[in-house]
Amino acid sequence: MRIVAPPGTVDALPEEVRTNRFVEAVFMDKCRLFGYSEIHTPVFEYGGLFEKGVGKVTDIIEKELYSFTDKSGARLALRPEGTTSVTRAVLQHGLNRELPAKLCYKITCYRQENPEEGRLREFHQIGAECYGSEDPRSDAEVISLAFEALRAMSVENLTLNINSVGCPRCRVSFENELARYLLPFANRGELCPTCAERLGKNPVRVLDCKEAGCRAVKAGAPKVVDYLCPDCLEHYERVKACLRAMNIPFDEKPGLIRGLDYYNRTVFEFKGGGGGANGTVGGGGRFDALSRRIGGEADLPAVGFAIGEERVVLAMSDGGSGAAAPEKPAAWVVAEDAGAAAGCLLALRSAGVRAEGDVMGLSVEEQLARAAESGARWAVFPEKGGLRIKNLATGEERPASDAAEAVRIINKG
């Protein structure tokens, strides 16, 4: 029997975990500088929440949601993304009483899609949301947070694409036009079966479909940005002006829409690296209506983004190896007597020293060899009535009356 994890899942081995931690630490540090506070939400929610939030006629809900019924008969689903849950938590706990509410997260997400490089069934997102403002300044702020974070992670060939998908009012004419454009393709059987069916319900989703036939019709399709009402157009112009003022380079992509239904006005995506899974490392946009979609009393203007950690690691200039140097021990405790070694190790570790010792039953000579290999600066020898401490770089040895004195010597370097 082969022992393997399910497809689309990965074990992060220690070196990879160090890279992931680096990515998360960079992100959380930027969030702190921008005034975003971390929030945790559950891995599963009532299934209906994502249907209402992400939208029923989307890939995520139609094809990718992991849903199940628990023993009580409740219909639950693993979260495919973070924004819907964070918005649910904001409403549930009244975080919208004091606005803006600026929140960030690092989470696992679950989508039952076809695994490929950079596309997993369990993956990690880091993201941030700003609630309470319709002002283009908040769009520009979250974009600049994502940009700063991705730059600090040394993502190669980082580019930002933006677009506006307008408001529900100005979208009506676009959707009618799009459906008219797509109909002949559907009639000729050139769209995938899912999209052919979507045409009447949600034609915009065809533009996000990954099937070859559907991708081919995209180029000539009407562009949502050409249908914006004056208010949405002005909002878009002001977002761009803010980005220019911050010297954040961007490309306008009139064809850009996103895979979730809840976006309005600003949408954006960041690309980077060599192009695994389209090279999209993150994306986001404005989602003023999400609150009402999931049962809130009113719209709550909001804008945010999510970045895929696995995609970032693929796109990092050094593949993450620069972030992944394992920490060397500061001291190696060498002793024949197990009890003496254990006492000394615990004393050093309690005092905050990264200390190693033998757990394999090695001889003193072998322990010394291990100490040298480990890159530790110090070897510590517990002896009757005290300790001896040796600088492994210089060979210099000195006595220490107790562990506290050894710690002082070690910490002095």
Give the footprint of ligand ATP on this chain (CB under 6 A). Answer: 81, 111, 113, 118-120, 123, 125, 258-259, 277-278, 280-283, 306, 308, 310-311
Alpha-carbon radius of gyration of the chain: 27
Please state the closest distance from residue 233 (CB atom) to ligand ATP, in A: 24
Nearer Cβ to ligand ATP (262/378): 262
Please state the closest distance from residue 258 (CB atom) to ligand ATP, in A: 6
d(C-alpha 124, C-alpha 122), whole Å: 7
Nearer Cβ to ligand ATP (125/138): 125
Please state the closest distance from residue 85 (CB atom) to ligand ATP, in A: 13
Residue at shortest CB range from ligand ATP: 308
Please state the closest distance from residue 294 (CB atom) to ligand ATP, in A: 17
Nearer Cβ to ligand ATP (30/111): 111
Position 202: which residue type? Answer: N
Nearer Cβ to ligand ATP (88/111): 111
Please state the closest distance from residue 71 (CB atom) to ligand ATP, in A: 29
Please state the closest distance from residue 121 (CB atom) to ligand ATP, in A: 7
Nearer Cβ to ligand ATP (53/118): 118
Position 303: which residue type? Answer: V
Nearer Cβ to ligand ATP (283/357): 283
